[in-house]
Structure 1
Amino acid sequence: MTTIRLPTARPPGTVLGAAPQVAESADAYRATGGYDGATGPEELLAHLAASGLRGRGGAGFPAAVKLRSVRGRGGSPVVVANGEEGEPGSAKDRWLLRARPHLVLDGLARAAAITGAVRGFVYLSDPAAGESVRRALAEHPPRLPVEVVETGHTYVAGEETAVVRRIDGGPALPTAKPPRPFERGVGGEPTLVSNVETLARIALTAARPGLRRVIARSTLVTLSGGPATPLLTEVPYGITLRTLARRYGTPDAAGALMGGLFGGLVDARALELPLEPGALTDAGTALGCGAIRFLAPGGCPVATAADAAAHLAAESARQCGVCVSGTAAVAKALSGLAAGTAGPDTADSLLRWSQGLTGRGACGLLDAAAGIAGSLLRSFPGHVRSHLAAPCPVCADAPNQDGRRRLAVAVPEVASPLTASASGTPVPALKGTP
């Protein structure tokens, strides 16, 4: 089970809150300044622009720019809280919806006020999160009509055009772009699709504008991969990956799988990099959704790459022929490399795919597969050569199970608030798939 660690020094503007193991009630949220109307929409937008807050869904797009793009389109805008985190190594969004639903809903309402939206949606696949959000809506009914839309949990279901398509009654599958949701989204209207952590930070900024820079430059990270249980914590930008590895319990990590699956593999030298979106991008990797899987000493990066590619191939939406064939080819090659059955031209094929597949799918899944292949060749060329020369003893001793399961991270446990129903019966703990 994933654990939560509170930062040593916690400013008032922390997303984790004071009691992250218990679902926050409306009264508890209001007691911390939540739902306060002192900061108006225009003032809040100015604070967001000045703070440099970026989205936490993976792309890292400036929040203020995204809000303005919807507001300036006219029509009857729509706002969506996107809580469908498809990355297997991430647990932050489902935890937020389970533990701090009022923080997310407050952020959604404020985004609606900025954009002029007339209705909102909370989009998710976790039953426990859905239960928590519905209870929060009943506790504090918003002025904005808000509907909870559930979907199946897949890698592509959280892509913004898939979100729009599902809310409009279709399958949760990506569509060709343009148009993008801010141009024509739910019901044909301009639509803001915003990650739930982004909305949480918008609400925190409204409550504590004096801490806007701290709020914008802190982020939730999900750490996994070593012998310790996965860890969800909040850290400031600028902290090094090495420091995070020590905190997690893998001080001698051989590298990491970054950004869920989108940031690819990095070697031990990259652990000196700061957790800063720009610095990571310049180094050829990405923060993405904040999921970091450390490679334990003695582990094999080829096995990790094979697990990641297998997951992507299985999760393909199967709408784009190049994605179906490309992800399958990368997965097969990496599986053969890990098993010691790869042919001598495998490295050349992986290099060709890493360079030629990027940007050819309707969503980022094919890009992630290409990135996994390319980053393995860049960061661990010696491992690739040794696997081509002889079977790897580490891979041979790996448990005989679906490698995709090794990448999965469970949501930290969240207890229900200590309230009672009308009959006096205690409210049961939240239930749902991990």
Structure 2
Amino acid sequence: MTVIRLPAAQPGTVLGTAPDTAESADAYRATGGYGGRTGPDELLAHLTASGLRGRGGAGFPTAVKLRSVRDRGGAPVVVANGEEGEPGSAKDRWLLRARPHLVLDGLARAAEVTGAVRGFVYLSDPAAGESVRRALAEHPPPLPVEVVETAHTYVAGEETAVVRRIDGGPALPAAKPPRPYERGVGGAPTLVSNVETLARIALTAAHPDLRYAVARHTLVTLSGGPGAPVLTEVRYGIALRALAARHGTPDAAGALMGGLFGGLVDAPALDLPLEPGALTAAGTALGCGAIRFLTPGCCPVTTAADAAGHLAAESARQCGVCVSGTAAVGNALASLAGATAGPDTADSLHRWSQGLPGRGACGLLDAAAAIAGSLLRSFPLLVRSHLAAPCPLCSAAEPADGRRRLTVAVPEVAGPPGRTRVPAPAAAPRTPPPTYPAQPALKGTP
């Protein structure tokens, strides 16, 4: 079961003061929520000054995204994206279960800034859906807001997949351009924003004096140690090594960063600060804030095989290059862990890590390439040793099983007063993505 650790300072935090209990509208209003002190132009100025970046993975400047939708004119749409595709992340589902009013307030604020006339909350977690619907009934928003549910898959949260699903189609990525801010739900300019980003917009509106603290704190899901996974809120700049020590893995051999998108880093990289720019410059990424530390008893090759296997299983199978590419990377890493790799396996992984990024409709193929490339870059001697002889750690581990080993559960959240606490289910394999006919592989794919 994932546990929550509160930060030392409480003001302006997304976790709040009672993260294990669903917040009521009255409790939220008591903290300054749903207030009308900050107007849309003033809020946009605060978001610009603070430099708040999106928390969905790409880290795009929030103010720029809001302004882009606003400036398209027409009748914009705003979407709270709570479909959490990364297996190692639990923050978005927890937010919707525990603090739905904070998210809905942020959605309403984003609608004011962009001039949106409709809103949607997009999710796949039934408990989160129940919590959001209850919150909507408690405090009806100033614009129509609809809850749209989808199957829980890796690609379902990609912004064009979100638009397609809300429009009644499959939750599958579409070719770009146009991007949603140009032409989204129903053909209207659409803001698709991660729920943590919206929560930070609401906090900025309620506490503009704390805008820099709000923008420079982030939720992280930490896993991989001997204890339970942890959801906590930290300030940008803290060293990854300090986070590892807090999580009970001070001797970590490295980490799997950003869910799966940031790839693997080695032990020296744990001296890096948890700051998007610094991590990007070092060839990794904060992504959705999911960090899995590599314990001494876990071989990075096993973790890489788990990650690539998960991505291959989650492919929507609508891009031939993704089907063949993720399968090739996953099979190669599984053979490396299973002591059946051929002498050219490392060369193939290097070639795919360089040639596959940017060729699929979404970031899934890029993530698989990043896993392969980062393993070769961060653990080259380990890869060579696996080619020479079986690895005792990999031999002791079960075959690649990213769905079980990499997935974390949502922290337990009690219902509002009068409702019985319902324990969150243990981490379980996710619903397999829908089966679509495989497309022919593009020329030059593995």
Report the TM-score, using the length of structure 2 for normalisation. Answer: 0.94
Which residue pairs with 1:104 in the alignment?
103
| Distance of 1:377 and 1:401 partners within structure 2 | 18
Count residues with an aligned counterpart: 426
Question: What is the CA distance between 1:389 and its match in structure 2?
Answer: 0.3
Cα distance, 1:143 vs. partner?
Answer: 1.3
1:427 aligned to which of 410, 419, 428: 419
Given the alignment of the two structures, is residue 66 of structure 1 paired with residue 48 of structure 2, yes or no? no
Q: Is 2:344 aligned against 1:345?
A: yes
> Partner residue of 1:423?
none
Q: Indicate how the Cα distance of structure 1 residues 361 and 198 shifts in structure 2: closer, same or farther if over 3 A, else same.
A: same
Using the TM superposition, give the Cα deviation of residue 401 of structure 1 relative to its aligned residue in structure 2, in angstroms. Answer: 7.2
CA contact (8 A) 1:132 1:430 kept: no
**For residues 353-364 of structure 1, what are the structure 2 equivalents within 5 Å?**
353-364=352-363
Using a 3 Å threshold, how does the CA distance of structure 1 residues 430 and 116 change in structure 2: closer, same or farther? farther
Aligned partners of 1:308 and 1:407 also within 8 Å: yes
Counting only pairs closer than 5 Å after superposition, residues 206-285 of structure 1 correspond to structure 2 as: 206-285=205-284
Distance 1:6 1:312, change over 3 A: same
Counterpart CA distance in 2 for 1:115 and 1:23 is 29
CA contact (8 A) 1:222 1:233 kept: yes
CA distance in 2, matches of 1:137, 1:430: 21
Match of 1:164 in 2: 163
Stretches of structure 1 that go unaligned for 5 or more consecutive residues are: 419-425
Supply the distance in 2 between the matched residues of 1:233 and 1:172 (Cα, whole angstroms).
30
Match of 2:291, SS state, is strand
Q: What secondary structure does 2:311 align onto?
A: helix
Q: Distance in 2 between matches of 1:143 and 1:220?
A: 28
Give the Cα–Cα distance (whole angstroms) in 1 for the partners of residues 402 and 139 of structure 2: 43
Judged with a 3 Å threshold, the aligned counterparts in structure 2 of structure 1 residues 400 and 328 are, in CA distance, closer, same or farther, namely closer
Q: Distance in 2 between matches of 1:23 and 1:313?
A: 36
| Structure 2 residue 334 is matched with structure 1 residue 335 | yes
Contact 2:412 / 2:424 at 8 angstroms: preserved in 1?
no
What is the distance in 2 between the residues matched to 1:431 and 1:2? 11
* CA deviation profile, 1:284-327 (whole Å, cap 9, x unmatched): 00000000000001320000000000000000010100000000
Q: How does 1:53-92 map to 2 (within 5 A)?
A: 53-92=52-91
Counterpart in 2 of 1:312?
311
**What residue in structure 1 maps to residue 444 of structure 2?**
none
The SS at the match of 1:37 is: coil
Find the aligned partners of 1:286 and 1:253 in 2 and give their Cα distance. 18
Counterpart in the other structure of 1:422: none
TM-superposed CA distance for 1:404, in Å, is 2.6
Query: What residue identity is the alignment partner of 1:4?
Result: I
Structure 1 Cα separation of the partners of residues 385 and 84 of structure 2? 35
Structure 1 residue 9: deviation in Å?
Answer: 2.6
Structure 1 residue 74: Cα displacement: 1.1
Cα RMSD of the aligned pairs, angstroms, is 1.0
Q: Distance in 1 between matches of 2:284 and 2:310?
A: 19
Counterparts of 1:174 and 1:288 in 2: how far apart (Å)? 19
In structure 1, what is the equivalent of residue 113 of structure 2?
Answer: 114
CA contact (8 A) 1:168 1:187 kept: yes
Q: Does residue 293 in structure 1 map to residue 292 in structure 2? A: yes
Identity %, equivalent residues: 84
- 1:123 offset after TM fit, Å? 0.2
Q: Residue type of the partner of 2:97?
A: R
Q: 1:144 to 1:432 in 2, by over 3 A?
A: farther
> Distance in 2 between the 1:407 and 1:102 partners?
30
How far off is 1:433 after superposition? 5.0
The list of structure 1 runs, each at least 4 consecutive aligned residues, that deviate by more than 6 angstroms after superposition, is none
Whether contact under 8 Å (1:75, 1:190) holds in the other structure is: yes
CA contact (8 A) 2:302 2:400 kept: no
Superposed displacement of residue 142, structure 1: 0.8
What is the CA deviation profile of residues 149-200 of structure 1, one whole-angstrom value per residue up to 9, with x for unaligned ones? 0000000000000000000000000000000000000000000000000000
Give CA deviations for 1:97-136 in whole Å, capped at 9, x if unaligned. 0000000000000000000000000000000000000000
State the partner residue of 2:438.
none
Cα contact 1:127–1:431 (8 A) shared by 2: no
- SS class of match (1:344): coil
Any idea what the Cα deviations from partners look like across 1:240-264, whole Å, max 9, x if unmatched? 0000000100001000000000000
Check conservation: 1:127, 1:433, Cα contact below 8 A: no
In 1, the alpha carbon distance for the partners of 2:318 and 2:424 equals 30
Structure 2 CA distance for aligned equivalents of residues 327 and 13 of structure 1: 41
2:9 equivalent in structure 1: 9
Aligned 8 A contact 1:127 1:432 in 2: no
1:352 alignment partner AA: R
| Pairing of 1:376-415 with structure 2 (within 5 A) | 376-399=375-398, 402-415=401-414
Residues 181-239 of structure 1: CA deviation (Å, up to 9, x unaligned) = 00000000000000000000000000000000000000000000111100000000000
CA distance, structure 2, for counterparts of residue 427 and residue 269 of structure 1: 48
TM-score (norm 1): 0.97
